[in-house]
Amino acid sequence: MTRWVLITRTPADCSDLQRMLEGSDIRLRPFPVLRVEDVTDDPGWPTAIEAAEHDGAWLVLASPRAPDRLTRQARERGASSLLELPAAVVGTGTERAALAAGLRPAVVGPGTGVGLADELAGRMRDGAPVVFACGHDRRPELPAALETAGHRVVPLVVYRMRPTPPRELPPLPESLHAVVVTSPRAARLYLEGVGGHPLPCPHIAIGPTTRDAASGLGIDCRTPSTPDLESLAEELCRT
């Protein structure tokens, strides 16, 4: 019997997790409450290119949506030198996306922005800048932690997440084994998309920040042992 798991991501964003669940009876049902759009940050590119010329500069990526868009835009602008910076990524999902885009991450964080900042700050030269390839709406913890450690953070926006109109969301399965919420914003939009009340099944948040945001909305979530896809797959199999 198939156990369906609703997850607040697009089908493309679910492929890695579904591969990790091979051999189980769990199947993911994407519920893409947010959809991605490319962004061209014309004001941000000159500042990012200037920051990349400093000795000791780093490139930081905190989402698997950023690497491909960054590399395409950098090559279109003749700014491939930016891609030669040592890269730090928030976790293994973003690492895979960075490798697929031709980047070579030097630091892979534990899946949280603060955790990545802690690991990266110990490797950086004092005062060295960071180019942060990111989304238009982003969590503040990572850049704030790096700035507190004395590093200038230059955001470079390469994508934006837009809410999917509720009428365009796919139908819900007749029965659900669990729901996975993947960001604080997705938790809010999931609640709106299902009529204002959590569905009657276990809920799992991908990390503690999302769990806390979901709790504030009345969604009781547990979290995997660590905020990465491998631990999420294990948690789903235990549920």
The domains located in the chain, with CATH, are 3-33+164-238 (3.40.50.10090), 44-161 (3.40.50.10090)
In whole angstroms, give the CA distance from residue 93 to residue 111.
9
Cβ atoms within 10 Å, residue 113:
23
Q: Residue 157: beta bridge partners?
A: 134
**pLDDT value for 93:** 85
**E strands, the chain, where?**
3-7, 26-30, 34-38, 58-61, 87-89, 105-108, 130-135, 153-163, 178-181, 203-205, 221-222
Tokens found for residue 214: 């979901």
pLDDT reported for residue 204: 98
Q: Residue 227: what pLDDT?
A: 83
pLDDT at residue 215, rounded to an integer: 97
- Is the pTM here over 0.85, yes or no? no
Mean pLDDT by 10 residues, the chain (239 residues): 94 90 95 95 96 96 95 95 96 92 94 91 93 94 95 97 93 93 95 95 94 96 90 92
Distance CA 28, CA 30 (A): 6
